Structure 1
Amino acid sequence: MNLIIRKATIVDSESPYHNQTVDIKITQGIIEEIGISLLNSDTHEEFHQDNLYVSQGWFDTSVSLGEPGFEDRETIINGLEVAAKSGFAGIALQPNSYPIIDNQSQVHFVKQKAVNAATELYPIGALTKGSEGNDLAELFDMKNAGAVAFGDYNKSLSNANLMKISLQYVQDFDGLVIAFCQDATIKGNGVANEGIVSTRLGLKGIPNLSEELIVARNLFLLEYTGGKLHIPTISTTKSVALIREAKKKGLQVTCSVTVHHLVLTDEKLEGFDTRYKVSPPLRNEDDRKALLEAVLDNTIDCITSDHNPIDIENKKMEFDLAKNGTIGLESAFGALLTQLPLEIIINKMTFGKNLLNIERQKIAENKKASITLFTIDNSWTFGKEHILSKSKNSAFLGHAMKGKAIGIYNQGKLVING
Structure 2
Amino acid sequence: MNVLLKDATIIDPSSSFHQKTVDILIEDGTISKIGSNISKEDHIDEITLPNLHVSRGWFDSSVCFGEPGYEERETIANGLEVAAKSGFTSIALNPNTLPITDTSASVGFLDSKAKNHAVRLYPIGSLTTKSEGKDLAELYDMQQAGAIAFGDYKKAIQNPNLLKIALLYAQNFDGLVLSFPQDNSIAGKGMVNEEEQSTLLGLKGIPSLAEELQISRDLFLLEYTGGKLHIPTISTAKSVTLIKEAKAKGLQVSCSTTVHHLTLTDQELQTFETSYKVQPPLRTQKDIDALKQGIKEGTIDMVTSDHQPMDIENKNVEFDNAKYGTIGLESAFVALNYHFDLDQIISLLTKGKDIFKLENQPLEEGSIADLSLFNPEGETTFETDHILSTSANSAFAGKPVKGNVYGVLANKQLVLK
State the 1:192 CA deviation. Answer: 0.4
- Give deviations 1:315-354, integer Å, cap 9, x for gaps: 1111111100000000000000111111111001001110
Distance of 1:340 and 1:180 partners within structure 2:
26
Task: Tell me what 2:30 maps to.
Answer: 30
Task: Tell me what 2:265 maps to.
Answer: 265
Task: Tell me what 1:205 maps to.
Answer: 205
**2:261 aligned with 1:251:** no
State the 1:160 CA deviation. Answer: 0.1
Structure 1 residues not aligned, in runs of 5+: none
Task: Tell me what 1:311 maps to.
Answer: 311
Aligned 1:391-406 pairs, distance under 5 A: 391-406=391-406
Task: Tell me what 1:18 maps to.
Answer: 18
Runs of 4+ more than 6 Å apart: none
Task: Tell me what 2:380 maps to.
Answer: 380
Distance of 1:73 and 1:325 partners within structure 2:
12
* SS across alignment from 1:331: helix
**2:355 aligned with 1:355:** yes
**2:123 aligned with 1:130:** no
Distance of 1:278 and 1:360 partners within structure 2:
30
Aligned 1:62-141 pairs, distance under 5 A: 62-141=62-141
**2:369 aligned with 1:369:** yes
- Give deviations 1:372-398, integer Å, cap 9, x for gaps: 001111111111110000000000000
Distance of 1:139 and 1:99 partners within structure 2:
16
State the 1:50 CA deviation. Answer: 2.1
Distance of 1:52 and 1:354 partners within structure 2:
26
Task: Tell me what 2:186 maps to.
Answer: 186
* SS across alignment from 2:321: coil
% identity of equivalent residues: 57
Task: Tell me what 1:239 maps to.
Answer: 239
* SS across alignment from 2:319: coil
Task: Tell me what 1:414 maps to.
Answer: 414
- Give deviations 1:190-210, integer Å, cap 9, x for gaps: 010000001000000000000
State the 1:52 CA deviation. Answer: 1.0
State the 1:404 CA deviation. Answer: 1.5
Structure 2 residues not aligned, in runs of 5+: none
Task: Tell me what 2:6 maps to.
Answer: 6
Amino acid at match of 1:195: E
User: RMSD value over aligned CA atoms?
Assistant: 0.6
Distance of 1:120 and 1:58 partners within structure 2:
11
With the length of structure 1 as denominator, give the TM-score of the two structures: 0.99
- Give deviations 1:116-158, integer Å, cap 9, x for gaps: 2110000000000000000000000000000000000011000
With the length of structure 2 as denominator, give the TM-score of the two structures: 0.99
* SS across alignment from 2:398: coil
Distance of 1:329 and 1:94 partners within structure 2:
14
